[in-house]
Amino acid sequence: MSSSIDALPFPPAALQVTAEGGWRPWRVAPDRPADEPVSLAAFDPAAKPLSRGSKSRDQAAVESIAEELDGLQNLFFADRRFRLLLVLQGTDTSGKDGTVRGVFSRTSPLGVHTVGWQAPTQPEKDRDFLWRIHQKVPGAGEIMVFNRSHYEDVLVPVVNGWISPDQTRQRLAQINDFERMLAQNGTVIVKCLLHIGKDEQRERLQARIDDPAKHWKFSLGDVEARQQWDDYQRAYDQLLKATSTPWAPWTVIPANSKTHRNLMVGSLVRDTLQRLGLRYPPENPALKGLRIS
């Protein structure tokens, strides 16, 4: 793959912003004013820009895309010129697990893998914060899905005051450099921020409390994090502005609707793969005329 940033494939024009306020990959232009604010409050978490008009039609579209991704993933694995890193970041209950299940429901485990990031262990804390991340980036022909990601390291420590503003700025710059290095070496990076509203989160957390079968998904830490909602929103605003780059742009996904969330992420991944010009390897001449007895 070319090392030119300009040659990298990006998410499709179908998600570009419209005059009516449609959704798009939010990108930072090289000459973007440093003092221009970015706010998640500008994005409606209940929006459905790609909806077919009903939940049933949207679900049918998600299933169709899942079928397409199965074929594209096989071709991607056979081509092996690229790697794809899909980052799913979002607050508690934003639907990261559900997105993986819905979007990749038909794909083979041959070339699609998922990492669910938890709090770093002590050996991980003893190293730089990106050390554990680099070990899990995709190999040739692989699609790797990050359920949470290295962005936790500029969210949780920031909100809780564990690192200083200077350390935060340093980490954000290091993330940009890290992602640039991945991109220059053939990794296509698709970053999705699953954006839900505060009221929607309350309903989803309450559902986990009310249903004993969902208690395993609930932690008292979720309540504490919810009390820090505004602080987390500001931290997200900061990272969006600092790390939406030409080589790894963020897409803000309205996620109040689980079905439409899957539709939007699935469309983004499918269209990104289609733009790569994937191809199967040349035919093996040794197989010509071969008959199995």
Tell me what the mean pLDDT of segment 74-80 comes to: 94
The Cα 247–Cα 82 span in angstroms is: 14
287 SS3 class: helix
Confidence of residue 49 (pLDDT cuts 50, 70, 90): confident
Provide, rounded to the nearest whole percent, the portion of the chain with pLDDT above 90.
68
How far apart (Å, rounded) are the C-alpha atoms in residues 27 and 228? 27
Residues 129-172: pLDDT tens digits?
999 999 999 999 999 999 999 999 999 999 999 999 999 999 99
Q: Is the pLDDT of residue 18 over 70?
A: no
Confidence class for position 216, pLDDT limits 50, 70, 90 = confident
What is the pTM (predicted TM-score) of this model?
0.88
Residue 112: other Cβ atoms inside 10 A:
22
Structure tokens at 14: 């179908």
**Of the candidates 88, 5, 13, 56, which has an alpha carbon nearest to the alpha carbon of residue 272?**
13
Q: What is residue 89's three-state secondary structure?
A: strand
Length of the chain measured in residues: 293
Contact 154, 171 (CB under 8 A): yes
Q: Domain 5-279, what architecture?
A: 3-Layer(aba) Sandwich (3.40)
Considering only the C-alpha atoms of the chain, give the largest distance between any 2 of them, rounded to a whole number of Å: 71
